[in-house]
Amino acid sequence: MQAEIERLFDEKPAVYTPAHRELFNAFKAALNHGLARAAEPDPASPTGWRVNAWVKKGILLGFRIGGVVDMSVGRLTFRDKDTYPTKHFDAQTSLRIVPGGSSIRDGCYIGQAVTCMPPMYINAGAYVDDGAMIDSHALVGSCAQVGKRCHISAASQIGGVLEPIGALPVIVEDDVLVGGNCGIYEGTVVKRRAVLGTGTILNRSTPVYDLVRETVHRASGEEPLVIPEEAVIVAGARAVTSGIGKEWGISVYTPIIVKYRDAKTDTRIQLEDLLR
């Protein structure tokens, strides 16, 4: 399948045939079952993850091949590519989608016992593992990887990275708690059991100051920002130390690691298990 997807992506035909659609449907089924992932664990990589560029090519092929059709439901009008309708779940799926306007696009993997609170959105190519909770107004972007038992709290955004094709998407590993109104973007990797306090923003441009280990975590070259395991991060600020910014007393936003997870932290976030 990989070779066929890459050839069809690189050698665009004049017209897409039924055989091309059949190939894409087989690829989309692999996405839905978690057999094809935009990124997957790789112990040999410095980040612990590697990107599968061919999978991203396959997702983009869906937009090329598809035609815009009417997807309206009752009085609600929707028009989108026929290759990416909303995802269908059968009665055997161990999944909660609470009524109220949520949407999950076809072509993403949703594990067992995932809870979706309204209204939230999961895009094509995403991977959401067992026991995760996607809270109200939360977004899981295309190709983003969310681990087991994660809680993506209300109004938080897990940015997808579909293009450039070779770029690692956002990774949120197992047992991470993402607080409300957080944003994780530009291929950031959040390692297991980390906790993001309300309003924390992580991206390639903003360094993370580690007050415990007295170091600064940054993205470098092709490598993304990596948040250490069990780090507890809050939104903070640092003073501008030169020029007119110093004269005006201006500070700029920066995320700060204030501690690493301990028994007290676990007790404070234990309540969420009652909601699953």
184 in helix, strand or coil? Answer: strand
Instruction: Look up tokens 């026991």; give the residue.
Output: 131
Instruction: Look up tokens 């069990």; give the residue.
Output: 230
pLDDT at 270: 64
CA angle 133, 139, 142 (to 5 degrees): 110
pLDDT at 92: 78
Per DSSP bridges, beta strands 157-158 and 208-210 are: unpaired
pLDDT at 267: 65
pLDDT at 272: 59
CB atoms within 10 A of CB 70: 9
Q: Which CATH architecture has domain 94-267?
A: 3 Solenoid (2.160)
Sequence ranges of the domains in the chain = 94-267
Cα 176 from Cα 21, distance rounded (Å): 37
Strand order in the sheet with 127-128: 109-110, 127-128, 145-146, 171-172, 189-190, 226-227
pLDDT at 269: 65
* pLDDT per residue of the chain (276 residues) written in tens, 0 to 9: 999 999 999 999 999 999 999 999 999 999 999 999 999 999 999 999 999 999 999 999 999 999 999 999 889 899 999 999 999 998 878 999 999 999 999 999 999 999 999 999 999 999 999 999 999 999 999 999 999 999 999 999 999 889 889 999 999 999 999 999 999 999 999 999 999 999 999 999 999 999 999 999 999 988 999 999 999 999 999 999 999 999 999 999 999 999 999 877 776 666 556 566
Do residues 225 and 199 touch, judged by C-beta distance below 8 A?
no
Element (H, E) at 59: helix 53-65
